[in-house]
Structure formats: C-alpha cells, structure tokens
Amino acid sequence: MAHVWIVAPRAGVAARGLRCDRRRVADDTRRVYRAVDLALRVGEVVLSSGAGAADVNAAVLSVTRACGLRAVHVDVNFTTLTVSYQSEAEEPPQTYLRTVTYRGLDYGLLTDVDRLVHALVHGEIDPETASRRLNELRSAARPFPRWVVSLSTGLMAAGVGLLLQGRPLVVAIAFATAIGIDQVVRQLACRRIPAFYQQVAGALVASIVAHGAYLLDDDMRPSVIVASGIIVLLAGITLVGAVQDALTGYYVTAAARTFEAMLLTGGIIAGVSLGITIGVRLGFDLPLTARSTAAIDDLPLALLGGTLVSISFALRCYAPLRSLAAVAAVGLTAQLTYLLLAAAGTGVAWSSAIAAVVVGVMSYSLAGRVRVPPLVVVVSGIVGLLPGLTIYRGLFQLLTERDVGGLVPLMSALAVGVGLASGVLLGEYVAQPLKREARRLENRLAGPRLVGPLHMPSRRARHARRRRRAAAREERQRPADTQPG
C-alpha cells in the first residue's frame, strides 16, 4: 500500500502537468493563428490592389512582427499567400495558406488598411483591435456611390479627348462612350464573364460608336473616340506590379501578372480589330487623323487633359479625396515633362519613361503628405501617358492598309508600357533613400516600397506603448471610490 501511495500522487502530478502543457500548446496555437490570420487578410488586400509581391511580403512580416512572431516565412504566388511559422527548432512548423480573390482596384480600402498596419506596427492598437477594424473595413460600403465611378470613367475619356485635341463634340461622345463601356463591363462582371471577354466587349463598343459617329459626320475624328476607350480599358491593368515583381526577384508572380496584362491587352486588341473589320466589310473608310498627344503650342489643353485623366482615375478607384490634390500635381507634371521631352525629339518611349521617373520621385513625398500609399499617386499619375492611340494606329495600319509597318506602333506601345512601369519604380528607388527610415528599409528589403510601413519601431518602444495602454486601461476600470481625489 505504501508503494501505491507514493506512485499515485506522481501520476496525478504528471497528468496535471500534461494537461497544462496541452493547454499551453493550444493557447500558443490560437495566438499564432490569430496573428497569421490577420497578416494574411492584410496581405490579401494589398495583393489584390495591384501592389508588388515585395510590398505584400513586407506588409505580412510587419503584422506578424507586431504580433510577437519571429522567424516567419512568407511566400507570395499571385493568387495565393502562404505563411509558415516555427516556434522552436524541435517543433514542426505551422503553415497557413490563403487564396486571394480579385477585388479590383480599391485604393480607399488599400489606404485604410495601410494606416491600420502603421497603427499596429507602432503600438497604437493591439492585434485584437486591428483584427476587428480590418473586418469592419472589408465589410464596409464603398466611399462613393456607383454613379460616381461611371461619371469618373467618362471624365477620364474626356480628358484623353482633350489630350488628343478633339473637338467639343468628339470629347462629349468619348465621355458618353466611356460611360457605356463601364456599364457593359460591369454587367459582364456581375455575370462572372471572364475579364478577357469584358475587354473585348468594351473595345468593340468604342469601335462601333466611332463608326457610327463618323457615319453621321464626316468631319468627326473617330480615332479619338477609340483611343479614349482603349485608355479607359488599359488603366485597369496592373502593369506596375508586374514590372516591380520582375525587378525585385519574384519571377513566378511577375510572369503570371505579365501574362494577365498581355491577355487583357489582347482582349482590347481583339475588340478594336473586330470593330475595324466590321467597318471595312460595311464599306467605312475611317481616317486616322489624331496625333499621339497635344502639341507643345497646346500646352494648357494638354495639362488640363492630363490632370483630368489622373483625377478621374483616382476617383474611379475610390481613392481618398485628400489625395486628389497630389494626384493632380503629379498628373500635370507628368504631362509637362513628357511634352517638353517629346518636343526636344527624345522619342515617345524615352519621353514616357523619363516622365514616369519624375512621377515616381514626386509621388513618394506627396503621398506621405496626404497620408496615402505611394501606389495610389503613382498609378494615377501615369494613366494619361498610356499608349491608347498608338495601339489603335498599329491596328488601323494592319487591318485597313494591309501594312506590316503597323507592327512598329504596337511594339512602340509595348515599349511605352514597360518604360512607364519601370520608370516609376526607378523614381521610387531614387526618392526613398532620401529619408533615414527609408534607407534602413532598403538595407533590409530588396526593392522600393509602394505600400506598407517604412520602418519597424524598436522592441523597447513597442513595449513602452503597451505598458502605457495597459496603465490607461486599468485607470479607466478602477472604481470611482478608489481613485485619488
């Protein structure tokens, strides 16, 4: 009996210890899950908004570090996010995966999530509060009604019409055509028609309207209408993120995004070529009279058009209203730089690339002043430089004049697109090391940052903020009769 009396308590102690270990492991697992789930949901918003894989990786790591997790590995693969965490060397890693669904360009949500990550990283809120706010942001209604987006799309096409020196009637038709394209694309998207066919339908609408307008008035310039529709459709393609992924070493994601951009651009080409072919079969002989952009002697018109295009695109993507002044300044400067360089004989591709570098440098500082990610200002600033008329000119020569020389404008359009994307990233490379925090980040990350916090505060600073929050919470919870005074 004495032997049994000695063993029983030890077995009970061991059982209680085992239960405590299991409870501790379960608590740690839940803590890790909550932190990783918050990081994955943040990364999903950043990736679906067109940001580069390097920015997504940095945003996810910033959240996990702020939640107390170290040695976290992140894998970004275009439509999936994978986070792996290993607490100890002897423990198996915990791996979590999240599929990223395409939400479209929502710069308002991107800005709110970016500010949320900044607050979490700097200890202004705790992870539980951050998770609750993120749920509220993702389920909240859009900041603008849908008719504002359609109106912004029309104003964007009208701005392109001003850039191409269209008459007031042509600008008005381009405005109405863009609104029609937006409605057609929206209806197809609601019916879950693939994006390629949405681009085909939108480009076909622009071509048909251009043929109808020219049939009613021989003095009409249908190329302005088609080019405006092409730029409206091109603006939704995230080429900047694709080039950023290629430059920062995420080649798989870069290849997937590049193929997506080529497929969507191919849909635009297919729609425009179908419209031109139908017109040729019906006996329409459309003229190609528009120039690539306004001349230097029409500088006020060009600056007005470029500014209108940038502001309209920002509104179309639900950018915060406080960012419109910065977007307008960048769009105006981009057009001014491009026109001056083009007038000096630099060439379309190089003029666009250098103007994009200026956009990248300006966007970094202006975005910080209006408290939005630089991606919002960067993409909005280069929309007016997209080669819509160049694409139309190449297709027009190929299909109506049977001239293989039409391949040259198409290759030039490709060079302009790559030059714009790489130029803005080069501008970010030049601008970011100008500040001490950004220089520290560049030593830690490969590539410029267009979304996310620029630096992580020290562990001591985070602990001090947490202690102050805990003291304030205890002060609020203390009964009134125990408070001093």
The residues, ordered by sequence, that sit 6+ positions from 477 with a Cβ below 8 Å of its Cβ are none
Residue that is written with structure tokens 């992140």 in the block: 74
Predicted pLDDT of residue 5? 43
The Cα-based distances of 409 to 264, 290, 345, 393 in angstroms read 18, 14, 17, 7
- Euclidean distance between the first and final Cα of the chain, in Å? 64
Q: Cα(241)–Cα(234) distance, rounded to whole angstroms?
A: 14
Predicted pLDDT of residue 123? 82
Contacts of 277-283 with C-beta under 8 Å, sequence gap 24+, read 277/399, 278/207, 278/208, 278/211, 279/207, 279/211, 280/399, 280/400, 282/211
Return the SS3 of 67.
coil
CB 123 within 8 A of CB 151: no
For residue 455, report the phi and psi dihedrals to the nearest 5 degrees.
-155, 155
Q: Beta partners for 80?
A: 99
The band of 197, judged by pLDDT with boundaries at 50, 70 and 90, is very high
- Burial classification of residue 297, based on how many CB atoms lie within 10 Å of its CB (0-12 exposed, 13-18 middle, 19 or more buried): exposed
Looking at the chain, the whole-number percentage of residues with pLDDT higher than 70 is 78
What letter would DSSP give residue 83? E
What letter would DSSP give residue 45? H
Q: DSSP letter string over 115-133? A: HHHHHHHTTSS-HHHHHHH
What are the start-end ranges of the E strands in 107-216?
Answer: none
Residue that is written with structure tokens 């702020």 in the block: 66
Q: Which of 106, 114, 98, 111 is nearest to 141 (CA)?
A: 106
Query: pLDDT (tens digit, 9 = 90+) per residue, 439-451?
Result: 554 455 445 566 6
Question: Whole-prediction pTM value?
Answer: 0.81
Query: pLDDT (tens digit, 9 = 90+) per residue, 227-250?
Result: 888 888 988 777 888 888 888 888
Label residue 82 left, alpha or beta by phi (over 0 means left) and psi (-120 to 50 means alpha). Answer: beta
Q: Cα(275)–Cα(205) distance, rounded to whole angstroms?
A: 8
CB 139 within 8 A of CB 314: no
Q: Pick the range with the lowest mean pLDDT from 10-14, 137-141, 162-166, 212-216.
A: 10-14
For residue 74, report the phi and psi dihedrals to the nearest 5 degrees.
-120, 135
User: From the centroid of its chain, how far is CA 268?
Assistant: 20
Q: Beta partners for 74?
A: 83
Contacts of 130-136 with C-beta under 8 Å, sequence gap 24+, read 130/38, 130/63, 131/34, 131/37, 131/38, 134/38, 134/41, 134/42
Q: Which of 304, 268, 287, 286 is nearest to 165 (CA)?
A: 304
What is the arithmetic mean of pLDDT over 69-75?
87
The band of 347, judged by pLDDT with boundaries at 50, 70 and 90, is confident
Residue that is written with structure tokens 């179908």 in the block: 274
The Cα-based distances of 316 to 14, 45, 106, 110, 400 in angstroms read 64, 18, 9, 14, 34
The band of 3, judged by pLDDT with boundaries at 50, 70 and 90, is very low
